[in-house]
Amino acid sequence: MHTENHNFTATLDCRYLLRVPEHVTGTTPLVVAVHGYGMNAKLMLRLTSRMVGDDAVLASIEAPNQYHLSRPGPDAEVGYHWGTREHWASSIRLHHEMVLRVLHDVRQRFEIPAARSILVGFSQPVGLNYRFAATWKEEVRGVIGVCGGVPKDWEQRDYGPVPAALLHIAREEDEFYPADVARGFPDRLRVYAADVEFHMLPGAHRFPSQAGEMVRAWIRRVCG
């Protein structure tokens, strides 16, 4: 007697929230936000909106995997995540497909070019977003990573030059990405990317409320 393993692909319903400013002009940027483990699209939309301001078209994607944050029941709160190491290759593929779909749909609707498209991630998907920018080189102008990491196999992959500008924001008391480790991220990112900006802010593994002015200045710079 033996056990066989079979894989197949099924259709998945995906969701994102969209916030549209009152006026969309020829300089309006598109920001696509990807939330961290246990969060949801609504929370990420609110946090990212505070950081990037009111002038951007902002899309917040909900991760495909769900679980109960407390004991299961009719009133149990649900959180979402991007995958586990058990099936990480398929998680990377699904993340890329979802981000590509949202980028293409929103850009087509508002006629926003890739040169004004920014990808933002908090915690778990930061490394996924760096992989995306290194794989789909013409899809985003910049990537903002907040309280996350660089892929473990970053240097072992033959990504080639990454044209996107990268902004990485770390925290001094981050319990998941220690400051001593995070300080090495800029050099690692520069293996492929020429435009890398790094900031170490005080605080723990939380979305940095004080980073708004810095982030908006960075978006203005990279998007022209």
The CATH number covering residue 52 comes to 3.40.50.1820
What mean pLDDT is predicted for residues 124-140?
Answer: 97
Per the structure block, which two tokens stand in for 46?
């609110």
Q: For strands 57-61 and 16-19, give the pairing.
A: antiparallel
What mean pLDDT is predicted for residues 5-29?
Answer: 92
Q: Write down the mean pLDDT value for the chain.
A: 94
Q: Does residue 8 have a pLDDT over 90?
A: no
2 belongs to a structural domain: no
Q: Does residue 59 have a pLDDT over 90?
A: yes
pLDDT band at 169; cut points 50, 70, 90:
very high
9 belongs to a structural domain: no
pLDDT band at 88; cut points 50, 70, 90:
confident
- Give the structural domain span for 57: 16-223
68 belongs to a structural domain: yes
What mean pLDDT is predicted for residues 156-169?
Answer: 96
Residue 33 β-bridge partners: 60, 120
pLDDT band at 77; cut points 50, 70, 90:
confident
Count the domains in the chain.
1
1 belongs to a structural domain: no
57 belongs to a structural domain: yes
pTM over 0.75: yes
In a 10 Å sphere around its CB, with 0-12 CB exposed, 13-18 middle and 19+ buried, how is residue 187 labelled?
A: exposed
Closest CA to 94 of 65, 134, 58: 65
What mean pLDDT is predicted for residues 71-94?
Answer: 82
Using an 8 Å Cβ cutoff, are 34 and 120 in contact? yes
Percentage of the chain exceeding pLDDT 90? 81
Q: Does residue 192 have a pLDDT over 90?
A: yes
Q: Does residue 75 have a pLDDT over 90?
A: no
90 belongs to a structural domain: yes
pLDDT at 82: 87
What mean pLDDT is predicted for residues 10-38?
Answer: 94
6 belongs to a structural domain: no
What mean pLDDT is predicted for residues 154-170?
Answer: 96
What mean pLDDT is predicted for residues 182-193?
Answer: 98
SS3 67: strand
7 belongs to a structural domain: no
Per the structure block, which two tokens stand in for 48?
């990212």
pLDDT at 70: 74
pLDDT at 188: 98
d(CA 30, CA 17): 13
Percentage of the chain exceeding pLDDT 70? 100
Using an 8 Å Cβ cutoff, are 35 and 80 in contact? yes
- The CA distances from residue 125 to 19, 28, 50, 62, 122, in Å, are 21, 25, 19, 11, 6
pLDDT band at 69; cut points 50, 70, 90:
confident
